[in-house]
Structure 1
């Protein structure tokens, strides 16, 4: 395992107000194991504790309690050794906007201990790998969001880290640049680099990650591969919008092919029914509601998603939580 964390916690003290300082527990006992050579994600809404957790693992924030080892070293007592083994790209990117990208790469390599000649050679390698050579001498501020992100990735990788942290790597990117960055992350894994990323995008975690944890209110509420987690939510999902949702739920709960029925927390007129073989059992469901005199305003049939997993564990939709 390249990361092992046990009961990791972080409490912040807010500024003194009318009622005095107040303690906020951002991370509430996270256990985590990440294997070498995998893409691992923290999936959760904004404010769930994802960034605080990744910053503790990257030695940027000291844990309040608990233990964590990264690349074989303790994040508190051996922080300098941990930093030698990791790359980190935060939400802000970490690239000097006013300098050419090439200068930022050379500087990062020099700070990492490379000679001037080796730093220049390594920068040229990364510029070629990320298709940035033609942009290397332009000020970073003149580049697109996707190009800036690629420069940030290159800076984070300058010292060949075996572990790479990415905090919300595709926030603000258009779909094409997001897909391009996914390809870059996959290529890192193919070259043997372990990647830990945070995201609140369901499709990103589903498409990109080997394994993930779902984090909510500072706690891990689910862990596994995307397929394993979706398998927990059996069958297909029928989403119904109708006037008397509570009556409809009572009727559907009695049907043998219905595994579970949930009412949306924020929308009183929406139900989600989890069915065995939804394509064949949907007509029976419609007949039940028609017999009960419950007209449907809209209906959709979908496969279970990671949002359904999040809903099952937290009682609300991740799409609504952000």
Structure 2
């Protein structure tokens, strides 16, 4: 699927097309989450489970809390948490945790995961065996790339066995690198924390003779954190992100621009997303060593 197939978006769908002057929307795919007129399950008969996997991410407890709140709003009373990721499905001594509004009311005030996390786990067939034995109807999986691959495998195995189990995957990434999503949870916190590093680099660079502050931020293959943090701080002169190509050398290269900044204002701050230009760290170090030697 490529972004080129998306022409417009409607209030209910990320892929939609306006087909007439009155703008009648034809929804194509990727429907937005939200209340629906008809629901498949009888809420009072549903058993829903929540599991958090992989590393920690700001906002995990907020998501757990809101899932519980929303399920109870729909009338679901049997809600459980699976402790310590997929391991909670098979590890002896790890028992599922009954969840309710009263129990999760204030967990958003604490960091980490209320349910605990872990990496890896048992075979997909063993997880589905456990889901079947526990009579789980809905499984909410909070995690990253590997976790989502696991959730997809669980879904495929459930379909193979013709089990009526809904597997709902919630992307866990501070990088905001999921197409068609307005914003991933944890992203705002990442941007806020990144600004602290930028502010420190700004103070160091401004205080030094011909100082250059260099901040490298996470993002994997996306520059959302670097871009938003740079715009929010108002202190970054150059922001390099993987979505925009650039040249280090040449008449319009980054190094020449930095040279001009040093001449005009005496210092500069550079923010680099980790995959920007796929430039090796050695190249960046040598480039800045070159500037230090010139303007020392």
The interval holding the TM-score normalised by the smaller chain is 0.3 to 0.5
More RCO (CA 8 Å, sep 6+): 1
TM-score, with normalisation over the residues of structure 1?
0.32
Higher strand share: 1
